[in-house]
Amino acid sequence: MPGDGEFGLIARFRERTASSDRVAIGIGDDCASVRLAGGGAVLVTTDMLMEGRHFRLDEAPLPSIGRKCLGVNLSDIAAMAGIPVAAVVAVGLPRDRAAEVGIGIYEGMERMAEEYGVALVGGDTNAWDGPLVVSVTVLGEPTGRGPVRRSGAKVGDAVFVTGTLGGSLLGRHLDPRPRLREAQSLHATVDLHAMIDLSDGLASDLPHILDESGGLGAILDAAAIPIHPDARLQSDRDGLSPLVHALGDGEDFELCFTVSPGSADRLVATPPEGITLHRIGTIDGGPGLRLRLADGLVEACRVRGFDHLAPRSG
């Protein structure tokens, strides 16, 4: 929450939404943060996943669909370096297989909820004549260091990503591993200036950090971008370069974050245990996201991610 394609619509309401002293972080980040009367704050994020858009019932095992629907929301909590606490689930089940599909996806969600220590506290179950649709909302808490926003990047920051990118459609998109532990560990180690999770693809998601941080730019070093083996497999199949897949495929559910050059050097010298990190570029005054190629040439990075409101292309 919220993805790229919806930007026009969300932006419209962002401007008009009355500010409230209850809203610590509103529309435009991976989670909102709501202040409670007791003095605490709660992080909240919601994502709706739908048959034919985010999964196909005839291709994916039902528990995997459930895992994905919960996992993408947990990934949003990770992007704020938060701690997930509870989830509610609303589903619209295809009428002819309602019980089977409902039980299957709940089972996948239940297992993932247990793995990540999240309580499934409620839901709304409907059968209808439409395709399967699943909407999950996760509540979380910031750590003592507070939530990490998209908006804190500074000129000169180093850009990092966790893991390796691209080719998730070969299967990983159904099995997100929300980087909660990684985010909390990084948050405890260095001062994270800005962070986002990679749902639409690096080339689409990093620009949200640039925009929210006041219209900054970034140059990424093409050779430094970590390519997942599945991006190479996809490349073999479709002839697009592995780099294009790494930048544009999306649904990696890895983290992209920026830190000061000093923090960057420390992370590279002694990365927190068990976390795969790559330093891939530098924040500058812009404009926009650019790519430094092997020959030293710098060009605008125009690869677009998955756009939820775009007409479907073949």
Q: How far is the CB of 196 from a copy of itself (least distance, A)?
A: 14
DSSP 8-class letter at 175: S
Amino acid found at 177: R
Binding positions for a copy of itself, 16-35, rule CB under 8 A: 16-18, 20, 22-23, 25-27, 29, 31-32, 34
User: Closer CB to a copy of itself, residue 102 or residue 242?
Assistant: 102
Of 2-10, 181-189, 228-236, 282-290, the window that binds a copy of itself (rule: CB under 8 A) is 2-10
Q: How far is the CB of 70 from a copy of itself (least distance, A)?
A: 13
Question: How many angstroms separate the CA atoms of 140 and 259, rounded?
Answer: 24
190 lines the binding site for a copy of itself (CB under 8 A): no
Options 56, 125, 215, 229; binder of a copy of itself; rule CB under 8 A: 125
Strand 298-300, strand 119-128: pairing: unpaired
Q: How many CB atoms lie within 10 A of CB 300?
A: 9
Binding positions for a copy of itself, 130-189, rule CB under 8 A: 130-131, 133, 135, 137, 139, 141
Q: Convert residues 32-51 into a mask of x (bound to a copy of itself by CB under 8 A) and - (unbound).
A: x-x-xxxxxxx-xxxxx-xx
Q: Convert residues 62-101 into a mask of x (bound to a copy of itself by CB under 8 A) and - (unbound).
A: -----------------------xx-xxxxxx-x--xx--
Q: Burial code of 145-171, b = ≥16 C-beta within 10 A, e = fewer?
A: eebbbbbbbeeebbbbbbbbbbbbebe
User: Closer CB to a copy of itself, residue 40 or residue 214?
Assistant: 40
| Residue indicated by tokens 């002819």 | 96
Amino acid found at 308: H
DSSP 8-class letter at 224: G
Burial class of residue 109 in the structure, from the number of CB atoms within 10 Å of its CB (0-12 exposed, 13-18 middle, 19+ buried): buried
Beta bridge partners of 196: 256
Binding positions for a copy of itself, 249-308, rule CB under 8 A: 308
Options 124, 191, 265, 299; binder of a copy of itself; rule CB under 8 A: 124
